[in-house]
């Protein structure tokens, strides 16, 4: 399931108020669930298995019992770095 708008090869646009919920599994993988907005009452825009290795943008990161939540405050892109590693950049 990936309904994100493409922004080039291996790059997708994220909404300015996107929420990325990162579930850290005991096996070491992460499940990234991306919502356009935390307040929106709609299903996620994408779910990816991989690792969110860095966020280079204005955001708030809060820890949860199963991982963490990244709340974006500006328009960003999600970039695939290969080997299932992802970076978010403004």
pLDDT digits (tens, 9 = 90+) for 52-68: 999 999 999 999 999 99
pTM of the model: 0.89
- HSE value, Cβ hemisphere, 13 Å, CA-based, for 67: 17
Question: Do residues 51 and 30 touch, judged by C-beta distance below 8 A?
Answer: yes
CB 87 within 8 A of CB 56: yes
pLDDT digits (tens, 9 = 90+) for 25-50: 988 889 999 999 877 788 999 999 99
């Amino acid at each position: 399931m990936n309904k994100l708008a493409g922004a080039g090869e291996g790059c997708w646009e994220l909404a300015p108020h996107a929420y990325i919920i990162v579930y850290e599994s005991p096996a070491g993988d992460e499940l990234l669930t991306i919502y356009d907005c935390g307040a929106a009452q709609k299903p996620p825009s994408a779910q990816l298995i991989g690792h969110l290795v860095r966020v280079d943008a204005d955001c708030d990161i809060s820890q949860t019992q199963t991982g963490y939540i990244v709340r974006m405050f500006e328009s960003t892109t999600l970039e695939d770095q290969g080997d299932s590693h992802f970076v978010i950049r403004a």
